[in-house]
Amino acid sequence: MSVNDQATEIRQGEELDLARVEAFLLEHIPGLSGPISIKQFPSGFSNLTYFIKAGERELVLRRPPHGTKAKTAHDMHREFRVLSALHPHFPYCPRPLAYSEDEAVMGCHFYVMERIQGVIIRRQVPPELGLGPEQMRRLTQRLIEVMAELHAVDYRAAGLESLGKPAGYVRRQVEGWSLRYRNARTPDVPDGETVMAWLLEKMPPESKSPAIIHNDFKLDNVVLDPLDPLRIIGVLDWEMATLGDPLMDLACTLAYWVQADDPPEMQQVTSMVTNQPGCLTRAQAVELYGQRTGRVMDQIDFYYCFGLFRLAVIVQQIYYRYYHGQTKDQRFAQLNATVHALLAQAGRVIAQSVL
């Protein structure tokens, strides 16, 4: 069985018009020849992602979920623009090929990019990869090293000065995510007020060296070389990329970085396999990032706490929909326990912090 990331049959109700898509692709991508076939990548809860095979060429099509009305809610053009500008400077990005707002094709805006074929590690390490403790140590090192490479990209040279507003980024994030939590809170989760107050009080000074940040940089968003699974060949899902404090990007990664000695409830919330033998601990990941970037890491407690809180808010927003009957997806039924675990971990960070 292949360990490469696999597409499956398209979910009911999310089909594409094969003839219209084929006509668009043949017109807008030079050298492409038909016929084409379309499948769907099944993971993810946001944008819909399709696998397109055209002869020997493999492409990926991204579009908003059905029912999306506002173009800004799932901004395909922004994502396409980021990839177009960033790919020459950060070759881990997929190469974008075509963008369209022609609703005659599929009723929405969408874009197409080259597929990076390889391995994506999700909640388990495929045993076929044969990754022992030493290999897992190196893989987690590479994850941090590639993030450091991203943060070293000159966003002005890439033409991405308008991607975001670095000034005041941390304050906007703390205040914005606090408001989202209060709006999405249900009676069966903590009020989070202690965490929110601490984050407001302990905000670090403005970053003197803002950078392009991914905002969801984790193992299941990177692609590994199937012939050398310690080599990262792609970074996916750029929909939340912006300009800001790069340590806020590291914060998001650390929130997923569950390690072997974390409490049992935290072991259940991870979407990264960093609790496996050999993986870097969070402290080691922070130390490596500091070495690679030269950035001062003396306020990492704030950043880690923020990352945990932000992740708790994301989970709570999903749970809110389930709690109020807006979705019956049973995967969401126990997400309130995840919110409890993340806020408890944030509380432990605060209790032990010297900030």
CB 256 within 8 A of CB 271: yes
Query: What DSSP character marks residue 9?
Result: P
pLDDT digits (tens, 9 = 90+) for 231-278: 999 999 998 999 999 999 999 999 999 999 999 999 988 779 999 999
CA diameter of the chain = 62
| Residue 26 token pair | 């043949």
> 């769907």: which residue's tokens?
40
Give 262's contacts (C-beta < 8 A, 6+ positions apart): 275, 345
pLDDT at 195 over 90: yes
Determine whether 207 is exposed, middle or buried from the number of CB atoms within 10 Å of its CB (0-12, 13-18, 19+): middle
Listed range (46-55, 283-292, 343-352) with the worst mean pLDDT: 46-55
H helix or E strand, kind and range, residue 54 = strand 48-54
pLDDT at 142 over 90: yes
pLDDT at 212 over 60: yes
pLDDT value of position 268:
86
Give the residue-averaged pLDDT of 22-51. Answer: 87
Calpha distance 337→355 (Å, rounded): 28
Which tops the pLDDT comparison, 11 or 19? 19
pLDDT at 5 over 80: no
Confidence of residue 48 (pLDDT cuts 50, 70, 90): confident
Calpha distance 293→224 (Å, rounded): 23
pLDDT at 35 over 90: no
Give the residue-averaged pLDDT of 280-309. Answer: 98
pLDDT at 71 over 50: no
> 């990664």: which residue's tokens?
253
pLDDT value of position 43:
67
- pTM here is 0.92
pLDDT at 34 over 70: yes
Confidence of residue 1 (pLDDT cuts 50, 70, 90): very low
Give the closest residue to 346 by CA, choosing from 111, 120, 177. 177
Half-sphere exposure of 18 (CA within 13 A, CB side): 12
Provide φ and ψ at 129, rounded to 5°. -75, -25
| Residue 106 token pair | 């599929």
Neighbouring-strand partners of residue 223: 234
pLDDT value of position 69:
46
Give the closest residue to 242 by CA, choosing from 155, 300, 302. 155
Domains annotated on the chain, with CATH: 18-114 (3.30.200.20), 127-352 (3.90.1200.10)
Confidence of residue 70 (pLDDT cuts 50, 70, 90): very low
pLDDT at 59 over 90: yes
pLDDT value of position 147:
98
Confidence of residue 168 (pLDDT cuts 50, 70, 90): very high
Alpha-helix runs per DSSP H in 257-334: 264-267, 282-293, 300-323
Calpha distance 101→77 (Å, rounded): 9
Give the closest residue to 127 by CA, choosing from 256, 229, 26. 229
CB 245 within 8 A of CB 170: yes
Neighbouring-strand partners of residue 64: none
Calpha distance 302→350 (Å, rounded): 8
Compute the mean pLDDT over every residue in the chain, rounded to the nearest whole number.
Answer: 92
